[in-house]
Amino acid sequence: MNKPHQCDFCSDPVTPNDLSAVIYDTEDFTAPEFNLGFKGAWLACATCAAFIRQYDEGLDDKARKNLARRAVEKHRRKYNIRGMGDVEINKILTQEVARLHEAFWANRKDTPPVPYATMKLEG
Ligand SMILES: [Zn+2]
């Protein structure tokens, strides 16, 4: 059985039953300052996709910040990172994640997101 896919923003598991999850076609890019490389599409769970849509449609200019906050919060729980309860550390991490998301926005292709449920992904 395939491993469940994860949201590329918050790492939540995404299943084909998640009808609001979407895939954004993205150019391959590297983020050297994070020692990370990204290939192809980014998967967004329903919640992250909603933040992205709100930002894209100009409905909420804080949506990108909220997306970064959610990612930090989820990673904090998942990896039980020490010191993450610290307000200053949370602030710094949120800024870093927001910078990474900036790279996503910059490299995203100008095509509408595709519903995850209709896609067949590798892996
Ligand atoms: Zn997510």
Q: What is the pLDDT of residues 5-59, one digit of tens each?
A: 999 999 999 988 888 999 999 999 998 888 888 888 999 999 999 999 999 999 9
How many domains does the chain contain in total?
Answer: 1
Decide if 41 contacts 120 (C-beta within 8 A).
Answer: no
Distance 102 CA to ligand 1 centre (A): 16
DSSP 34: G
Q: Does 103 reside within a domain?
A: yes
Decide if 98 contacts 92 (C-beta within 8 A).
Answer: no
CB atoms within 10 A of CB 61: 9
Distance 98 CA to ligand 1 centre (A): 14
Q: Does 123 reside within a domain?
A: no
How far is 51 from 64, CA to CA, in rounded Å?
7
Distance 47 CA to ligand 1 centre (A): 6
- Dihedral angle computed from the Cα positions of residues 25, 27, 31 and 34, in that order, rounded to the nearest 10 degrees: 30
Distance 7 CA to ligand 1 centre (A): 5
Distance 86 CA to ligand 1 centre (A): 23
Q: Does 102 reside within a domain?
A: yes
Token output for 27:
């150019």
Token output for 101:
């998301």
Exposure string for 69-104, b = 16+ CB within 10 A, e = fewer: bbbbebbbeeeeeeeeeeeeebeebbeebbebbebb
Give the pLDDT confidence of 59-94 residue by residue, as tens digits: 998 999 999 999 998 988 777 766 656 788 888 889
What's the domain range around 96?
A: 5-118
Distance 25 CA to ligand 1 centre (A): 16
* pTM for the structure as a whole: 0.85
